[in-house]
Structure 1
């Protein structure tokens, strides 16, 4: 059983791609962080990104850490745009998993809680637009390559993040079953609390849970103000949500897409919103960040959560 399921507090990192592009001024073609795995300089830059988050976790008594691979866009369609063939893509995902496993070996002795290496699988299309195929079978077949490569690299679990449709999420959950790994399914929502597909968050969770239940669900790439209103007490699906990686900005996906500058929001306000969700999400115990967040936001979230 995954240690996250015991209810222990787990931290994770923030907005990897936005931090690299806007704060570190690193060029990421098609927002693909996995391109940095191509050389030693890039790999060292990736590893150094995670360090402040691991240090925050080391300072928190009893906290575990979910160490996620930089493979959000390491799937066939995005790889093709970058001139990466399927054989190289498998190798990239495998290498990303092994790099995170190596980091765990170095950092686990410094933490008082367990470390879990999670292989990230992003949407086939744009994370802000529901443009993936509606076919569950097609999604399963499509995402199996990445799931297999991450599994071969030694990850403990898979994470399907920024899911815009229940069909694609369900396909990844089935792909995870095929490779014998637990999976977390994380949906993104618009400002009305619905998925970009128009599906209600609860309906999407219940559809996936009915056919291929993941280890747990999460929400990412949305500000808490966008979904807090749909978290109604007493709904059984709410108890299945354990993870949250929120955006720093209150802007919509369309506004963020059109923005040339990073909106880091208010770290203190974001942290208090996380804390305020404790009653609405009784099983929430895995917290990280998404677009626009960095170690400063996670420090504020950590401190507010502990308080």
Structure 2
């Protein structure tokens, strides 16, 4: 069972900065060939490990310079059974890669953590299917059975929590929350939204959060939005809506394009880092309790610098 050394973001109230778009940075800036966004495979080569260390160190320094916390998300978004099998990883190899991903985060935490910049380690979990298209929905029971192994492996490491990113539907989120509860592992649920501010299934964010909370007795420690630009969801964040208190984190895309448009792009749309920082500043004014902020697809150190300036002192 995990040894929880660190207070989680929803308890401390402290701002926690996170990283940017790991996979898009590795592909478009660092030149790695990751057709399925399988960043976890870099843990198996010296060149890959060097790139991952450089990536996380850059953001850890950024958080420390601003006197805010840092959330270390493991590069394991694709390290689940079906995606792992697509790139030739057995269940045993995936188990090992998840453990070693946490070891890397421990290494970064040891190097950069200070009393002003606590570093929480989160095991990143991805959806069984595509991050943009819900496809054939699993039942909550099927989702629990699918995700329980990866969550159990992460729970047995020194990770402090798990975060399920880019979820397209509430049944899978329910299954993940149940699997995490069975492993006694704090879990965060992060939904992706379309340009209309709704999940790809058409469900509203408020409805999805309510459904997961109702089915799990409020199991997730908090919720997030990721892989959507603020222009897609700003209007969906109804001021005063009770479910908003459950939303603690935002990791936005750099691009204003829809998921369908991004799927067709052959070049990276990095958007406007300064504009993104301004939008985060406005979100902070509206949602002062949101204290976990970072980026998703297309974002890099330029975007996170602007987001960091919106949520912490400048370096």
The alignment's TM-score, normalised by the length of structure 1, stands at 0.96
State the 1:163 CA deviation.
0.5
Q: Which residue of 1 aligns with 2:297?
A: 291
State the 1:224 CA deviation.
0.3
- What count of residue pairs does the alignment treat as equivalent? 305
State the 1:157 CA deviation.
0.1
Tell me if 1:261 matches 2:267: yes
Q: 1:216-265 CA deviation, whole Å, 9 max, x = no partner?
A: 10000000000011111111101111101000000000000100010110
Q: 1:162 aligns with which of 157, 161, 166?
A: 166
Tell me if 1:85 matches 2:119: no
Aligned 1:180-259 pairs, distance under 5 A = 180-212=184-216, 213-259=219-265
Q: Does the CA contact (< 8 Å) of 1:10 and 1:65 recur in 2? A: yes
State the 1:279 CA deviation.
3.5
Stretches of structure 2 that go unaligned for 5 or more consecutive residues are 1-6
SS state at 2:286 partner? coil
Q: Does the CA contact (< 8 Å) of 2:255 and 2:270 recur in 1? A: yes
State the 1:4 CA deviation.
3.9
Q: Which residue of 2 aligns with 1:95?
A: 100
Q: Does the CA contact (< 8 Å) of 1:13 and 1:288 recur in 2? A: yes
SS state at 2:297 partner? coil
Which 10-residue stretch deviates more, 121-130 or 33-42?
33-42
Task: Tell me how far apart the structure 2 counterparts of residues 80 and 19 of structure 1 sit (CA, whole Å).
Answer: 24
Tell me if 1:28 matches 2:69: no
Task: Tell me how far apart the structure 2 counterparts of residues 136 and 275 of structure 1 sit (CA, whole Å).
Answer: 36
Tell me if 1:173 matches 2:171: no
The alignment's TM-score, normalised by the length of structure 2, stands at 0.94
State the 1:211 CA deviation.
2.3
For the aligned residue pairs, the C-alpha RMSD in angstroms reads 1.3
Q: Which residue of 2 aligns with 1:2?
A: 8
State the 1:3 CA deviation.
4.1
Task: Tell me how far apart the structure 2 counterparts of residues 163 and 244 of structure 1 sit (CA, whole Å).
Answer: 14
Q: 1:59 aligns with which of 57, 65, 68?
A: 65
Q: Does the CA contact (< 8 Å) of 1:16 and 1:290 recur in 2? A: yes
SS state at 1:52 partner? helix
Distance 1:132 1:15, change over 3 A: farther
Task: Tell me how far apart the structure 1 counterparts of residues 65 and 238 of structure 2 sit (CA, whole Å).
Answer: 34
Task: Tell me how far apart the structure 1 counterparts of residues 272 and 15 of structure 2 sit (CA, whole Å).
Answer: 23
Q: 1:116-156 CA deviation, whole Å, 9 max, x = no partner?
A: 00000000011010125330000001001110111222210
Q: Does the CA contact (< 8 Å) of 2:10 and 2:222 recur in 1? A: no
Q: Which residue of 2 aligns with 1:18?
A: 24
Task: Tell me how far apart the structure 1 counterparts of residues 9 and 190 of structure 2 sit (CA, whole Å).
Answer: 18
Which 10-residue stretch deviates more, 3-12 or 52-61?
3-12
Aligned 1:34-53 pairs, distance under 5 A = 34-53=40-59
Task: Tell me how far apart the structure 1 counterparts of residues 138 and 223 of structure 2 sit (CA, whole Å).
Answer: 20
Q: Which residue of 2 aligns with 1:121?
A: 125
Tell me if 1:105 matches 2:146: no
Q: 1:140 aligns with which of 137, 144, 149?
A: 144
Which consecutive segments of 4 or more residues in structure 1 shift more than 3 A? none
Task: Tell me how far apart the structure 1 counterparts of residues 307 and 281 of structure 2 sit (CA, whole Å).
Answer: 8
Task: Tell me how far apart the structure 2 counterparts of residues 103 and 304 of structure 1 sit (CA, whole Å).
Answer: 24
Task: Tell me how far apart the structure 1 counterparts of residues 192 and 287 of structure 2 sit (CA, whole Å).
Answer: 16
Task: Tell me how far apart the structure 1 counterparts of residues 312 and 42 of structure 2 sit (CA, whole Å).
Answer: 34
Stretches of structure 1 that go unaligned for 5 or more consecutive residues are none
